[in-house]
Structure 1
Amino acid sequence: MKGRRFLSSVRARATLGATVVVAVALVAAGIAVLLSLRDNLADRADAQADSAGRQVGAQIARGTPYPRLRLPDGSDHPVQVVDRDGRVLAVSEDLERISGTGVPGVTPVEEPGADRDNESDADDPETGELGDVTRHSSGRATVDGDEAAYRFAEVEVTDSRGETVLVYAGAPLETQQDAVRIAATVMLIGLPVLLLVVGGVTWLVTRRALRPVEDIRREMAAITASEDLSRRVPEPDTGDEVASLARTTNRTLAALEASVDRQRRFVADASHELRSPIASLRTQLEVGAAHPELLDVPGAVEDTVRLQQLATDLLLLARLDAGERPGRTRIDLGELVRAEAGGRRSGDRVEVLVEAEEGVELTGSRGQLARLVTNLLDNARRHARSRITVTVRAEGGRALLAVTDDGEGVPVAERERIFERFVRLDDARSRDEGGAGLGLAIARDVARRHGGDLTVTAAPEGAGDDPSRGARFELWLPLDG
């Protein structure tokens, strides 16, 4: 369990991973170095054996009798001369045993006339030929009681009598073996030390690198415990991924704080808005129960309708906040606007003029878009003096729905605030009667859920940003295709 908890740490995994990678790299490099060192020293031994063999072969080629050959010291370069039949013709002094040459004998054979001095015989002036080194082999030799490993070179020579003999000359491998052994020992001792250094440095570096992460975690734990969303995690000035994580975390906390504050305001405002019609309805019912002749039935019905509309608005906002996706119904925007505007003509105190292009179609929720149009028309009716103009057209790959009234307009400073929930302007639009301040908020939420937006400006007849000649609400939605 302890080991599992230890490996669950990023620092531990990073340290272990770095150590393992370095260990594998060092072992591979060490093996490569040892093999290269061994091969280089073996090549040097081959070169020494070649030189010793050629020196002896040159004497044989000049006609020096085998018993008179000047052979190198046996412990440095043991030499064995044999003929094609495997008979030993000459060996180094004190050579007691040899292996690796293919001929185990170390006692020269006696040849008739072997004591003859070929170099002084005038009737036999011919000389032999020194051939090439034909192969190399590894073996062992015992000289004067000391056994050692050698590298042997095989040199082919033709003597003065025309016979081909083989000269085996050895070079000691003790230097090679000692060098490889020392190098391996140094590596075996240095590898653990180096791995400890790598592990320690990685542990310290990751600790320093992850310290801001731990600070972020500690602050997030404190925020969770205190439920204080106004706090923020520390942002290091390193400019790396950890700093980006801290900035993203703080942006998330800010968005969460704003969402919670908005939710709290929403609950408080909704409670306030619901309290008034409920209290009024209760009062009327209580009076009616005590004095039936005083019961204001129209007023009770009006309060009930207002309460029903408010509940409907609150439920729609709750669904939008929950991320409800709009439907995929194909809608003719002009037809939808004409239907909503025509259904409200009777009894209206202002004229509603609809100018809609044909074929402005889009995809979405018909119910939500109808509610959007209704809210815009209701808002315009409450504030228009005599006329409302509704325009529908396609422009730049988007559908434009513009609702323009000739009322007092919206002050520039209030043009974003009116889309907040439960906001009703008291000055410029003081004739707002009965609304809870949710219509425009719902309209913008629906617009953005459909990939569009809703804004307000001064009516075109107004001078610049002067709102005194009316308000123009513009809804932009993406078209199909």
Structure 2
Amino acid sequence: MRSVRARAALGATVVVALALIGAGLSVLLVLRANLTGQAGLQAEVVAREVAGQLALDVPYDRLEMRDEEDHPVQVTDEDGRVVAVSKDLRAISGTGTDRVTPDPSPAAGQSGGGSDDDGSDDDADDDHGTPGRGEVDSDEPDFTNGTATVDGETADYRFASVQATTSAGVTLTVHAGAPLAAEQEAVGTVRGAMLIGLPLLLLVVAGVTWLVTRRALRPVEGIRREMAAITASEDLSRRVPEPGSRDEVARLARTTNETLTALEASVERQRRFVADASHELRSPIASLRTQLEVGAAHPELLDVPGAVADTVRLQALAADLLLLARLDAGERPGRTVLDLGALVREEISQRSGDRIPVTVSVPDSGEFEVAGSRGQLVRVIGNLLDNAERHARSAVTVSVRAESGDVIVVVTDDGAGVPPEERERIFERFVRLDDARTRDDGGAGLGLAIARDVAARHGGRLTVDGAREGGARFELRLPGAG
């Protein structure tokens, strides 16, 4: 099932089905318990009425039993013998004995109004007797379910068992029943309604979920179509539609457009890089080719120093382009622990052809260890020094210090400085300010771009501002190895 709409509709239907089944079973159980409890209460009332008569020593054959067709009654003695039953009771189950023929014991028969010698008790029987000292058990009666056949019809009943003690001390148990037909009919009606209504309700839930999910995912389909069109046309200037809602789909559309914007900028940057690289490579290659062709035709005119200079410049440019390509590919720097102060001293000591001597300020004692690539960090320091040498008038200064867990290298010069509005632009690739546009005095415009990229990949940053001497002040901040 690959459709999100189908999965959502199926999931919602299953959840609702489980919830409705659970709720329906709970309703049926509660309804059955309530109706059964009501039937048990009716049976208890009838049983206590009969037990009250037995406690008053009313004879068995004169017991008054109301609604005998709906409330069958069975009276048993201590030995389980049946001493009285309601009229038209032909069969019974669930009361402990299934006998329905009275078989009074002699003691039980006497409890129905025993006779004195003068026969006075017989007169009392005629008046339903005078109250004796019998009693009815006030404890909670026992309830059971069973069946009874009354007047030829068999039905289910809820029986209540109540004990009564006659004045003669005979304990009798009255089993009175109340019909469960109402409970069974109500439960059956509710169950039938649920069996009919549940599938219909589930169909409604599935349909509504399908429609709602389809409406909610409609913007997603629009995003998908637009992305497919962008992929087919390769036009990264297009954007996906953003719905006016503030839900997850709207955030997805905004994020997609932000990704397209970043991708468009990256592709454009790559195109400019290729174009600028081609332009920068074309000049030294053309110059070198011209010199070699002239030298081939007229060996005495070959400018060997110029050819070597062009070759060196071409080699440096190729190295810069290769390093930028590796950085753009996401190459991670090494994690070698280096002493940045010693690295600065070593780099400056090897620069023998500088136009202006470099003043170094590196404390002998200090924690200047950083983790990274030695070759890349040497390239950063070298590029900063080359830039300072190119623009300085008479002084270039390099200092190293530790601050708040970072190692900071500061390179300053006393040149013209960098205008505030150009201080971020100079870190872009192939960018050279107006006073450094000549091929002889200015580089290809890659040195500072490489330096900032390397600093960023080492977890640091490279910034520029004005120096007190009036020139430029470049600050390289790298996290310490600790």
Query: Do they fold alike, i.e. is TM over 0.5?
Result: yes
Task: Report deviation, 1:265.
Answer: 0.8
SS in 1 for 2:361: strand
Name the counterpart of 1:349.
355
CA distance in 1, matches of 2:396, 2:439: 16
CA distance in 2, matches of 1:235, 1:115: 94
CA distance in 1, matches of 2:124, 2:8: 85
Name the counterpart of 1:420.
428
Task: Report deviation, 1:447.
Answer: 1.0
Task: Report deviation, 1:74.
Answer: 2.5
Which aligned pairs between 1:8-157 and structure 2 lie closer than 5 A? Answer: 8-109=2-103, 120-121=122-123, 126-132=132-138, 134-157=141-164
Q: Does 1:263 align with 2:255?
A: no
For the 8 Å contact 2:145–2:157, the answer to whether it is kept is yes
**One-letter amino acid of the structure 1 residue matched with residue 407 of structure 2:** A
Q: Which runs of 5+ in 2 are unaligned?
A: 115-120
For the 8 Å contact 2:57–2:111, the answer to whether it is kept is no
C-alpha spacing 1:121/1:369, structure 2 compared with 1 (3 Å): same
SS in 1 for 2:137: strand
Task: Report deviation, 1:117.
Answer: 6.2
Task: Report deviation, 1:470.
Answer: 1.7
Name the counterpart of 1:3.
none
Deviations 1:70-106 (A, max 9, x none): 2223321011122223332221111111111122222
Aligned length: 467
Task: Report deviation, 1:115.
Answer: 12
CA distance in 2, matches of 1:371, 1:321: 16
**One-letter amino acid of the structure 2 residue matched with residue 20 of structure 1:** V
CA distance in 2, matches of 1:116, 1:476: 114
Q: Which runs of 5+ in 1 are unaligned?
A: 1-6, 462-468
SS in 2 for 1:313: helix
SS in 2 for 1:157: strand
Task: Report deviation, 1:134.
Answer: 4.0
CA distance in 1, matches of 2:398, 2:133: 124
Which aligned pairs between 1:289-308 and structure 2 lie closer than 5 A? Answer: 289-308=296-315
C-alpha spacing 1:433/1:144, structure 2 compared with 1 (3 Å): same
Task: Report deviation, 1:216.
Answer: 1.5
C-alpha spacing 1:311/1:62, structure 2 compared with 1 (3 Å): same
Task: Report deviation, 1:121.
Answer: 4.5
Say what the alpha-carbon RMSD is for the aligned residues: 2.2
TM-score, length-scaled by structure 1: 0.92
CA distance in 2, matches of 1:10, 1:115: 81
CA distance in 1, matches of 2:287, 2:239: 45
For the 8 Å contact 2:340–2:370, the answer to whether it is kept is yes
* Among candidates 158, 165, 176, match of residue 169 of structure 1: 176
CA distance in 2, matches of 1:393, 1:229: 46
Deviations 1:137-173 (A, max 9, x none): 1111111111111111112122343322221111000
Task: Report deviation, 1:225.
Answer: 1.0
CA distance in 2, matches of 1:35, 1:177: 12
CA distance in 1, matches of 2:334, 2:408: 20
For the 8 Å contact 2:240–2:257, the answer to whether it is kept is yes
CA distance in 1, matches of 2:154, 2:298: 132
CA distance in 2, matches of 1:329, 1:274: 34
Task: Report deviation, 1:402.
Answer: 1.3
CA distance in 2, matches of 1:454, 1:429: 23
SS in 2 for 1:267: helix
CA distance in 1, matches of 2:216, 2:344: 60
For the 8 Å contact 1:383–1:429, the answer to whether it is kept is no
Deviations 1:335-373 (A, max 9, x none): 21122122213x433121111123222111111111111
For the 8 Å contact 1:19–1:198, the answer to whether it is kept is yes
Q: Does 1:473 align with 2:474?
A: yes
TM-score, length-scaled by structure 2: 0.92
Task: Report deviation, 1:120.
Answer: 4.4
Which aligned pairs between 1:141-220 and structure 2 lie closer than 5 A? Answer: 141-220=148-227
**One-letter amino acid of the structure 2 residue matched with residue 37 of structure 1:** L
Task: Report deviation, 1:305.
Answer: 1.0
SS in 1 for 2:286: helix
SS in 2 for 1:427: helix
CA distance in 2, matches of 1:269, 1:431: 14
Name the counterpart of 1:397.
405
Stretch of structure 1 that moved more, 368-377 or 421-430: 421-430
CA distance in 2, matches of 1:115, 1:427: 134
CA distance in 1, matches of 2:67, 2:26: 35
For the 8 Å contact 1:411–1:428, the answer to whether it is kept is no
Name the counterpart of 1:368.
376
Stretch of structure 1 that moved more, 58-67 or 113-122: 113-122
Task: Report deviation, 1:111.
Answer: 6.9
Task: Report deviation, 1:224.
Answer: 0.8
CA distance in 2, matches of 1:84, 1:377: 118
